[in-house]
A and B are shown apart, each in its own frame.
Chain A
Amino acid sequence: DAKTTQPNSMESNEEEPVHLPCNHSTISGTDYIHWYRQLPSQGPEYVIHGLTSNVNNRMASLAIAEDRKSSTLILHRATLRDAAVYYCILTVSGAGSYQLTFGKGTKLSVIP
Protein backbone atom coordinates (compact mmCIF):
# COMPACT_ATOMS: atom_id res chain seq x y z
CA ASP A 1 0.00 0.00 0.00
CA ALA A 2 1.20 3.50 -0.80
CA LYS A 3 2.13 5.35 2.38
CA THR A 4 1.47 8.89 3.49
CA THR A 5 3.58 11.16 5.68
CA GLN A 6 2.08 13.87 7.84
CA PRO A 7 3.47 16.12 10.57
CA ASN A 8 2.69 14.81 14.03
CA SER A 9 1.10 18.04 15.20
CA MET A 10 0.19 21.55 14.15
CA GLU A 11 -1.25 24.62 15.85
CA SER A 12 -3.52 27.28 14.53
CA ASN A 13 -5.16 30.37 15.91
CA GLU A 14 -8.91 30.44 15.91
CA GLU A 15 -10.51 31.96 12.80
CA GLU A 16 -7.30 31.71 10.80
CA PRO A 17 -6.75 29.38 7.83
CA VAL A 18 -4.97 26.09 8.38
CA HIS A 19 -2.97 24.17 5.80
CA LEU A 20 -2.40 20.53 6.68
CA PRO A 21 0.20 18.88 4.44
CA CYS A 22 0.47 15.27 3.35
CA ASN A 23 3.23 13.64 1.34
CA HIS A 24 2.48 10.54 -0.73
CA SER A 25 5.43 10.20 -3.06
CA THR A 26 4.65 6.56 -3.99
CA ILE A 27 1.04 7.23 -4.97
CA SER A 28 -0.16 5.33 -8.01
CA GLY A 29 -2.33 6.66 -10.77
CA THR A 30 -5.47 4.99 -9.44
CA ASP A 31 -5.13 6.05 -5.80
CA TYR A 32 -7.63 8.51 -4.39
CA ILE A 33 -6.54 10.90 -1.63
CA HIS A 34 -8.94 10.85 1.30
CA TRP A 35 -8.96 12.95 4.44
CA TYR A 36 -10.73 11.96 7.61
CA ARG A 37 -10.61 13.55 11.03
CA GLN A 38 -11.22 12.22 14.50
CA LEU A 39 -12.45 14.46 17.27
CA PRO A 40 -11.60 13.38 20.82
CA SER A 41 -13.49 10.26 21.94
CA GLN A 42 -15.41 9.98 18.66
CA GLY A 43 -15.27 7.87 15.54
CA PRO A 44 -13.54 9.33 12.49
CA GLU A 45 -15.43 11.67 10.21
CA TYR A 46 -15.09 11.98 6.44
CA VAL A 47 -13.74 15.37 5.39
CA ILE A 48 -12.94 15.34 1.69
CA HIS A 49 -11.36 13.31 -1.09
CA GLY A 50 -9.98 13.81 -4.58
CA LEU A 51 -8.05 12.20 -7.40
CA THR A 52 -6.30 14.86 -9.49
CA SER A 53 -8.19 18.14 -9.37
CA ASN A 54 -8.57 20.41 -6.37
CA VAL A 55 -11.81 19.85 -4.49
CA ASN A 56 -13.99 22.04 -2.32
CA ASN A 57 -16.84 21.18 0.01
CA ARG A 58 -18.56 22.81 2.94
CA MET A 59 -15.94 21.54 5.38
CA ALA A 60 -12.65 22.12 3.60
CA SER A 61 -10.65 22.36 0.41
CA LEU A 62 -8.19 19.83 -0.93
CA ALA A 63 -5.27 21.05 -3.00
CA ILE A 64 -3.47 18.31 -4.93
CA ALA A 65 -0.03 18.88 -6.39
CA GLU A 66 0.30 18.52 -10.13
CA ASP A 67 2.52 15.43 -9.75
CA ARG A 68 0.11 14.10 -7.06
CA LYS A 69 2.98 13.36 -4.72
CA SER A 70 1.60 15.70 -2.10
CA SER A 71 -1.65 17.31 -1.08
CA THR A 72 -2.86 19.92 1.37
CA LEU A 73 -6.07 20.02 3.35
CA ILE A 74 -7.20 23.59 3.85
CA LEU A 75 -9.54 24.68 6.60
CA HIS A 76 -10.46 28.21 5.67
CA ARG A 77 -11.31 29.45 9.17
CA ALA A 78 -10.30 27.23 12.03
CA THR A 79 -12.72 26.96 14.90
CA LEU A 80 -12.27 25.28 18.27
CA ARG A 81 -14.44 22.47 16.97
CA ASP A 82 -11.82 21.71 14.31
CA ALA A 83 -9.34 20.53 16.94
CA ALA A 84 -8.86 16.89 15.97
CA VAL A 85 -6.48 14.35 14.49
CA TYR A 86 -6.50 14.60 10.71
CA TYR A 87 -5.68 11.53 8.65
CA CYS A 88 -4.56 11.54 5.03
CA ILE A 89 -5.25 8.13 3.47
CA LEU A 90 -4.82 6.71 -0.01
CA THR A 91 -7.42 4.34 -1.43
CA VAL A 92 -7.57 2.44 -4.66
CA SER A 93 -10.30 3.52 -7.03
CA GLY A 94 -12.64 0.86 -8.25
CA ALA A 95 -11.69 -1.43 -5.41
CA GLY A 96 -15.26 -1.70 -4.20
CA SER A 97 -15.58 -1.66 -0.45
CA TYR A 98 -12.09 -0.54 0.36
CA GLN A 99 -10.61 -0.70 3.82
CA LEU A 100 -8.82 2.27 5.30
CA THR A 101 -5.31 2.07 6.71
CA PHE A 102 -4.82 4.78 9.30
CA GLY A 103 -1.42 6.27 9.99
CA LYS A 104 -0.68 8.48 12.98
CA GLY A 105 -2.21 11.59 11.43
CA THR A 106 -1.70 15.22 12.37
CA LYS A 107 -3.05 16.44 15.67
CA LEU A 108 -4.40 19.94 15.13
CA SER A 109 -4.69 22.24 18.10
CA VAL A 110 -6.71 25.44 17.76
CA ILE A 111 -5.79 28.31 20.03
CA PRO A 112 -8.62 30.63 21.07
Chain B
Amino acid sequence: GAVVSQHPSWVICKSGTSVKIECRSLDFQATTMFWYRQFPKQSLMLMATSNEGSKATYEQGVEKDKFLINHASLTLSTLTVTSAHPEDSSFYICSAPYLGGGGETQYFGPGTRLLVL
Protein backbone atom coordinates (compact mmCIF):
# COMPACT_ATOMS: atom_id res chain seq x y z
CA GLY B 1 0.00 0.00 0.00
CA ALA B 2 0.91 3.66 -0.25
CA VAL B 3 3.17 5.02 2.47
CA VAL B 4 3.58 8.57 3.72
CA SER B 5 6.44 9.44 6.04
CA GLN B 6 7.10 12.47 8.22
CA HIS B 7 10.28 13.78 9.71
CA PRO B 8 10.98 14.43 12.47
CA SER B 9 8.57 12.37 14.55
CA TRP B 10 8.96 14.76 17.45
CA VAL B 11 10.75 18.02 18.09
CA ILE B 12 11.31 20.29 21.06
CA CYS B 13 12.36 23.85 20.39
CA LYS B 14 12.72 27.17 22.13
CA SER B 15 10.19 29.92 21.68
CA GLY B 16 11.05 32.15 18.73
CA THR B 17 12.84 29.52 16.66
CA SER B 18 11.62 28.00 13.41
CA VAL B 19 10.89 24.33 12.87
CA LYS B 20 10.66 22.49 9.55
CA ILE B 21 8.56 19.34 9.16
CA GLU B 22 8.90 17.15 6.08
CA CYS B 23 6.18 15.02 4.53
CA ARG B 24 7.12 12.46 1.87
CA SER B 25 5.09 10.09 -0.25
CA LEU B 26 7.43 7.12 -0.47
CA ASP B 27 6.06 5.01 -3.32
CA PHE B 28 3.71 7.31 -5.19
CA GLN B 29 3.55 10.85 -6.44
CA ALA B 30 1.29 13.48 -4.94
CA THR B 31 0.62 16.80 -6.62
CA THR B 32 -1.45 17.73 -3.59
CA MET B 33 -0.80 17.11 0.09
CA PHE B 34 -2.70 18.25 3.13
CA TRP B 35 -1.47 19.52 6.49
CA TYR B 36 -3.51 19.03 9.66
CA ARG B 37 -3.03 20.06 13.26
CA GLN B 38 -4.40 18.19 16.25
CA PHE B 39 -4.49 19.49 19.81
CA PRO B 40 -4.84 17.05 22.74
CA LYS B 41 -8.22 15.32 22.94
CA GLN B 42 -9.43 17.14 19.83
CA SER B 43 -10.01 16.11 16.25
CA LEU B 44 -7.81 16.91 13.28
CA MET B 45 -8.15 20.40 11.85
CA LEU B 46 -7.12 21.06 8.27
CA MET B 47 -4.54 23.85 8.10
CA ALA B 48 -3.67 24.04 4.42
CA THR B 49 -3.54 22.33 1.07
CA SER B 50 -0.07 22.03 -0.41
CA ASN B 51 0.13 22.16 -4.21
CA GLU B 52 3.19 21.06 -6.14
CA GLY B 53 4.62 23.93 -8.13
CA SER B 54 2.20 26.55 -6.84
CA LYS B 55 1.17 28.36 -3.69
CA ALA B 56 -0.51 26.57 -0.83
CA THR B 57 -4.12 27.22 0.04
CA TYR B 58 -4.69 28.04 3.68
CA GLU B 59 -7.82 27.50 5.74
CA GLN B 60 -9.48 30.45 7.36
CA GLY B 61 -7.68 31.54 10.49
CA VAL B 62 -4.35 29.93 9.60
CA GLU B 63 -1.56 32.48 9.17
CA LYS B 64 0.28 31.81 5.93
CA ASP B 65 3.31 33.83 7.02
CA LYS B 66 3.64 31.77 10.17
CA PHE B 67 3.09 28.35 8.63
CA LEU B 68 5.17 28.30 5.46
CA ILE B 69 4.45 25.47 3.06
CA ASN B 70 6.67 24.40 0.20
CA HIS B 71 5.75 21.59 -2.19
CA ALA B 72 9.00 21.39 -4.11
CA SER B 73 8.55 18.00 -5.76
CA LEU B 74 5.91 15.38 -6.41
CA THR B 75 6.96 13.46 -3.31
CA LEU B 76 7.86 16.15 -0.78
CA SER B 77 6.00 18.88 1.04
CA THR B 78 7.44 20.83 3.95
CA LEU B 79 5.75 22.82 6.69
CA THR B 80 7.85 25.42 8.49
CA VAL B 81 6.52 26.84 11.72
CA THR B 82 8.23 30.23 11.94
CA SER B 83 8.90 32.01 15.23
CA ALA B 84 7.25 29.20 17.13
CA HIS B 85 5.49 29.93 20.40
CA PRO B 86 4.13 27.60 23.08
CA GLU B 87 0.61 27.85 21.63
CA ASP B 88 1.97 26.24 18.44
CA SER B 89 2.72 23.07 20.38
CA SER B 90 0.60 20.43 18.72
CA PHE B 91 0.55 17.22 16.69
CA TYR B 92 1.09 18.01 13.01
CA ILE B 93 -0.04 15.44 10.45
CA CYS B 94 0.21 15.41 6.68
CA SER B 95 -1.70 13.34 4.15
CA ALA B 96 -1.53 12.62 0.45
CA PRO B 97 -4.29 11.34 -1.83
CA TYR B 98 -3.70 8.07 -3.63
CA LEU B 99 -5.75 6.88 -6.56
CA GLY B 100 -6.06 3.12 -6.39
CA GLY B 101 -8.37 0.56 -7.90
CA GLY B 102 -11.18 1.44 -5.53
CA GLY B 103 -10.98 5.17 -6.04
CA GLU B 104 -9.15 7.88 -4.18
CA THR B 105 -8.17 7.52 -0.55
CA GLN B 106 -5.93 9.53 1.70
CA TYR B 107 -2.77 8.18 3.25
CA PHE B 108 -1.52 9.87 6.37
CA GLY B 109 1.90 10.34 7.82
CA PRO B 110 2.64 9.18 11.37
CA GLY B 111 2.58 12.75 12.64
CA THR B 112 5.11 15.14 14.17
CA ARG B 113 4.74 16.17 17.77
CA LEU B 114 5.99 19.72 18.35
CA LEU B 115 6.68 21.09 21.80
CA VAL B 116 7.66 24.73 22.04
CA LEU B 117 9.19 25.78 25.35
Contacts and interface: CB of A to CB of B under 8 A. Distances in A.
Contacts of A102: 36, 43-45
Interface residues of A, number: 23
A98 B97 contact: yes
Q: Which range holds the interface residue count of chain B?
A: 20 to 34
B8 interface: no
Interface string A14-43: 000000000000000000101010100111
A7 interface: no
Interface of B: 4, 6, 31-32, 34, 36, 43-46, 49, 91, 93-95, 97, 102-111, 113
27 contacts: A32-B103, A34-B105, A36-B106, A36-B108, A41-B91, A41-B111, A41-B113, A42-B110, A42-B111, A43-B4, A43-B94, A43-B95, A43-B108, A44-B108, A45-B108, A46-B105, A46-B107, A96-B32, A96-B104, A97-B32, A97-B97, A98-B97, A99-B46, A100-B95, A102-B43, A102-B44, A103-B43
